[in-house]
Chain A
Amino acid sequence: MLKIENLKVSLGDREVLKSVNLEIKPGEAHVLFGPNGSGKTSLLMTLMGFSNYRVTEGTINFKDRDITGMSIDERARLGIGMSFQRPPTIKGLKTRQMVALCSAGKEIRLEEMANRLNFEDFLDRDLNAGFSGGEIKRSELLQLMAQNPDLILLDEPESGVDLESISLIGEVINELLERKPGKDHAASSRERRSKRAKAGLLITHTGYILNYVDADVGHVLYDGVLSCHGNPRETLRCIQDMGYQECMRCMV
C-alpha cells in the first residue's frame, strides 16, 4: 500500500530525514520508535504532504501511485489520514462542524462516534481550543473515524493520555485498523490479516500502545535514518535494555 524509497527530507535548511526505506502492505500495522528529535513526526508530516517538509530525494508511492509531489488534500482523498501530535486550534469552528467536514458528505453517525470516544461534551467547543493532551487524541481519532482513511498515520496516540483512557484509545485504533484482537481464534493471524485492507503507521515513545494494538513490524528511526526492522516487541525490549544507540548498533 505504501512504499517509501531512499527518502531524504529537509525542514528549512536542515536535513531531518536522511535515509528512509519502508514498505507497508495492506492490513499491516507498523510501529516507529525513536528518540526525541529523531524525525518521527517529520516522516509522518512528509507522508501527509505538509509544505514545510521538502523532499530532496527519493519517492513515496501509495496505492501504486507516485504521490511525492501530490497536494495534501489529494493524498487525503486518496486514503491517507493522520492523527496529529499538536494540531492547531481553529477558532470559531466547532468540533462538530470539523467532524462533519471530515466525512466529506458521507453519511456518518456523529453522535454515536463521539459517544464511543466519550467526547460528546466537546462537540460544541472550538476545535482544539484548550484541549488537554488526551482530549486532543480523542478529537483526532474522532476526525479519523469520520474520514475513514485506508492508511492511518498516528503520531504518539498515547502520549498525555491517562491510563484509563489508553485502553479506549487503543480499542478505537484497532477499530480504525479493522483489528479485533483476541476474538477470532479459529483463523490464523495470516488469514485475519489478509481480510483487512487498512494499514497503519504508529509512532510510540513508550510502547504502551503495543499492549492494545498488536502491531506487525517495528522500526527504529535514529537521527533521520530508519533501520532495525523487526518484531515490535523485541525491538522495544532491545531499546529498553540497551538504549537506542546500542540497539541500533546491534541490529545493523
Chain B
Amino acid sequence: MKGARENKLQRARDAAEKAAVFGEDLDLGQFIHEAPSHLNMKDLSSLSEPDKKELLTVGVDTDIKERSGSFMQIDHSVVHHDIFQDGLEVMSTSEAREKYDWLEDYYWRAVAVDTDKYTARAELHQEHGYFIRALPGVKTAFPLQACLFTARDGLAQEAHNIVIAEEGSELHIISGCASSHKVKAGLHIGVSEFYVKKGAKLSFTMIHNWAEEFAVRPRSATIVEEDGVFLSNYVCMKPVKTLQMYPTTFLSGANAVARYNTILVAVPGSFMDVGSRVYLKAPGARAEMIARTITTGGDVVNRGHIVGEVADAKGHLECHGLILSEKGLIYAVPELEGRVSGVELSHEAAVGKIAQEEIEYMMSRGMSESDATAAIVRGFLNVDIMGLPAELQREIDKTVNMQGIF
C-alpha cells in the first residue's frame, strides 16, 4: 500500500510542470498556497449573510433543509460535515484515506495522477476534498450538498473528491463551488473521482459561481459498472476568467448509462473550455450529452466526444449555442469516434443568434423586445433533465432563474 502511494507521488512530481491538453497554461507560481485555517462549524448559520447568498446561488442551502448530508470546505479547512441518513458517509478525503485502507484503490483510478500539472498539484498538496459514499442498496431521501468555498484572495485551492455509490444504491449530490464575495482572484483545482457500482445510480449536479479573475481547473472522471447510471449536470453562468474541464466517463459494465447536461453562460471577459467525454466499453452502454451555451460577450469552447468501442452501444451528443452579443464566440466541437461496426453514434450542433422571427412572434403577444428575448433565453436554458428527481430539477431551475443573466 505504501509503495502504491509513493508511486503516485512520484508520478505527480514528474508531472508537476506538465501543461494540460486544453486551456491556457497557468503559471501556478502566481497563486498563494497558505491560507489561515478556519474554525469548525456545527452548522452553516455562522457564515456571513453575503456569503450565504453566494452559496445559495450554487445550490448550497446554509439552513441545510431537505438535505441528507452536508459538507463544507473553506480554503484548505474542512469546517463542517454532517449526515442525516443511515447508510451514508460524508467526510474529508484525507480522513477517509486514514480510515479505510481500501480507499487507496480508488485514489487516481478514474483520473490519472499525471494527467497534467493540476492533477499533480492536487496530489502533491493534499488539501482535503470530500468523500461521499452510499452503502449498498441505500437510497438518499434528499440530495447531499457539498461545498468548496474560497475565502482567501489569490489562493490556490486543491481538493480531491471521491464519491462511491455502492451496488444498488441511489445517491444525489449537489456540489456547489463558489468564492467569497471579497475574493477577486484565485485558482480552484477540483479532482473528482466517481465510482458507480453495479445497479447503482448517481446524480451529480455541480454549480459554479466564481469571481471575475478566477481560474478553474476541475479534473473528473467516472467509472460506471453494469446497469449503473451516472447523471452529471453542470451549471456555470457567472463570470470566471478561465475555466477548462473535460470530465470523462467510462461505461465499463453492460447497460451502463451516462448523461451529461451542461449549461454555460460566458459574460465579457470569461473564457470557458468545457466538454464531456464518454467511452462506451460494454454492450448496451448508452451515453447522452446535452449542452446549452450562451455568450453575452465571452468565449466558449464546447467539446463533446463519444468513443464507441463495442457493438450494441449508443451515444448522442447535442450542443446548442446562442450568441447574444456582437462580441463573444461559441466554438462547438462535437466528436464521434466509432471503433467497431454496430455502434450507433449521432450528434446535433447549432450555433447562432435568436431568430428575429421568434422575438417578433412573442412581441405580437404584447411582450417588449427584452421580455421576449428573456423568455426565449430561459426556454433555451430549460433543459429537461431526464431521470432527475423533481426536487433536484427544481433546484436547478431555481438557480438558473436566480442567476438571471440580464
Asked if residues B355 and A101 are in contact (CB atoms below 8 Å), the reply is no
Compute how far the CA of A87 lies from the CA of B357 in the bound complex, rounded to whole angstroms: 9
Contacts of B371 in A (CB 8 A): 101
B interface vs A, CB < 8 Å? 355-358, 360-369, 371-372, 375-376, 378-383
Q: How many A-B residue pairs have CB under 8 A?
A: 71
Task: Tell me whether B366 and A76 are in contact (CB under 8 A).
Answer: yes
> Does A98 belong to the interface (CB within 8 Å)?
yes
Given known pairs A90-B358, A92-B383, the reply for A73 and B375 (CB within 8 Å) is: no
What's the least CB distance linking A54 to chain B, in Å? 14
Smallest Cβ-Cβ distance to B368: which chain A residue: A73
The answer, among A50, A104, A126, A127, for a CB contact under 8 Å with B366, is: A104
Judged by DSSP, the binding face of A is mixed
Contacts of B380 in A (CB 8 A): 91-92
Task: Report A-chain residues with C-beta under 8 Å of the C-beta of B383.
Answer: 92
Rounded to whole Å, the gap between the CB of A74 and the closest CB of chain B is: 9
Decide if B366 touches A77 in the complex (CB within 8 Å): yes
Which residues of A pack against B, CB within 8 Å?
48-51, 71-73, 75-77, 81-82, 84, 87-88, 90-93, 97-98, 101-102, 104, 126-127, 143, 147
A98 x B378 contact (CB < 8 A): no
Q: Contacts A51-B360, A72-B360, A88-B358 hold; do A93 and B382 have CB atoms under 8 A apart?
A: yes
Residue with the greatest number of chain A CB neighbours at <10 A, chosen from B356, B362, B372, B382: B362
Describe B's contact surface by its main secondary structure: helix
In the complex, chain B residues whose CB is within 8 Å of the CB of A91: 379-380
How many whole Å from B366's CB to the nearest CB in chain A? 4
CB of B266 to closest CB in A, whole Å: 19
Residues in chain A near residue B362, CB distance under 8 A: 90, 98, 101
Give every chain B residue within 8 A of A88 (Cβ-Cβ): 355, 357-358, 361
Contact call A147/B366, Cβ cutoff below 8 A: yes
Contacts of B364 in A (CB 8 A): 48-50, 72-73, 75-76, 81-82, 84
> B381 touching A92 by the CB < 8 A rule?
yes
Chain B residue numbers with a CB within 8 Å of A77 are: 366
User: Bound state CA distance, A71 and B367, in angstroms?
Assistant: 11
Residues of B contacting A84 in the complex (Cβ-Cβ under 8 angstroms): 361, 364
Query: 11 pairs across A/B with beta carbons < 8 Å?
Result: A50-B360, A71-B363, A72-B364, A73-B367, A73-B368, A73-B372, A76-B363, A88-B358, A92-B379, A147-B365, A147-B366
B365's partner among A49, A71, A101 (CB-CB below 8 A) is: A101
Interchain CA distance A97-B363 in the complex, whole Å = 15
The docked-state distance in angstroms from the alpha carbon of A91 to that of B376 is 8
A90 and B364 alpha carbons, distance in the complex (Å): 14
Q: Which residues of B contact A75 (CB under 8 A)?
A: 364
Considering the chains assembled together, what is the distance between the CA atoms of A50 and B356 in angstroms? 10
Chain A residues with Cβ under 8 A from B376's Cβ? 90, 93
CB-based contact B361/A102 at 8 Å? no
Question: Across the two chains, which residue of chain A brings its CB closest to B358?
Answer: A88
Whole-angstrom distance between the Cβ of B359 and the nearest chain A Cβ: 9
New A-B contacts (19) at CB < 8 Å, excluding given A72-B363, A92-B382: A48-B364, A50-B364, A51-B356, A71-B363, A71-B369, A87-B361, A90-B361, A90-B362, A90-B375, A90-B379, A91-B380, A92-B379, A93-B378, A93-B382, A101-B371, A101-B375, A104-B366, A126-B379, A147-B366
